[in-house]
């Protein structure tokens, strides 16, 4: 019943701890994740917008009300956090899209169009909301036609991980090469 709550706090505490270490550049900490980790990245980038310099969301849920409404995921979601009517605060907390206006640092979003675990539409909605809120300049997005939740095809894996590497190299290490 604490989706995006104490787990997100763990990320913030970890980042703040890293910032105390003399060998860590506190201005160059990034966050990334896939699936729940992608959701986690979105929460981290919007609830604590100054904490992470860049983030990568791979197929993360952007809003658990939308996820609950999907015919394939309603039972799964309700079994873990109840329904939106039963637990509106839990669902509101688990909605990084409602805080996308707080985004301050670059975010890379990767998603397969055939994802049945977290529907591709979640990322499309995220991009649309970010554009509406004037945050389009902070977003990079790559869709992978026909790819599922976990990328499996060699050319997709090669592109995705090179894209992530280039993104972090540019935004965290200051390499001159623009990310793909």
Q: Give all domains of the chain, ordered by start, each with its CATH number.
A: 6-171 (3.40.50.1820)
Q: Give the residue from 168, 167, 104, 160 showing the smallest Cα distance to 134.
A: 104
Average pLDDT value for residue range 112-138 = 97
Q: Which residue has the higher pLDDT, 8 or 106?
A: 106
Once rounded to an integer, what is the mean pLDDT over residues 116-122? 95
The pTM score is 0.93
Q: Catalytic amino acids?
A: 35, 115, 149
Model confidence at 12, in pLDDT bands (50, 70, 90)?
confident
Rounded CA gap, 114 and 95, in Å? 23
Report the distance separating Cα 86 and Cα 160, nearest Å: 38
Residue found by looking up tokens 């980038």 in the block: 45
Comparing 73 with 101, which gets the higher pLDDT? 101
What is the C-alpha separation between 131 and 176, in angstroms, rounded?
A: 26
Model confidence over 19-33: pLDDT tens digits? 999 999 999 999 999
């Amino acid at each position: 019943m604490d989706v995006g709550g104490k787990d997100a706090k763990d990320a913030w505490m970890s980042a703040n701890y890293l910032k105390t270490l003399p060998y860590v550049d506190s201005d160059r900490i990034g966050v990334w994740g896939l699936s729940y980790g992608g959701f986690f990245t979105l929460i981290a980038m919007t609830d604590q917008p100054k904490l992470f310099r860049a983030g990568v969301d791979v197929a993360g849920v952007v809003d658990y009300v939308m996820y609950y409404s999907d015919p394939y995921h309603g039972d799964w979601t309700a079994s873990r956090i109840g329904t939106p009517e039963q637990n509106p605060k839990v669902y509101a907390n688990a909605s990084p899209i409602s805080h996308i206006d707080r985004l301050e640092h670059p975010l890379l979003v990767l998603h397969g169009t055939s994802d049945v675990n977290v529907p591709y539409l979640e990322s499309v909605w995220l991009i649309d909301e970010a554009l509406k809120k004037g945050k389009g300049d902070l977003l990079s997005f790559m869709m992978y036609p026909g790819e599922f939740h976990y990328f499996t095809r060699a050319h997709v894996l090669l592109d995705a991980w090179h894209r992530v590497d280039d993104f972090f190299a540019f935004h965290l290490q200051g390499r001159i090469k623009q990310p793909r």
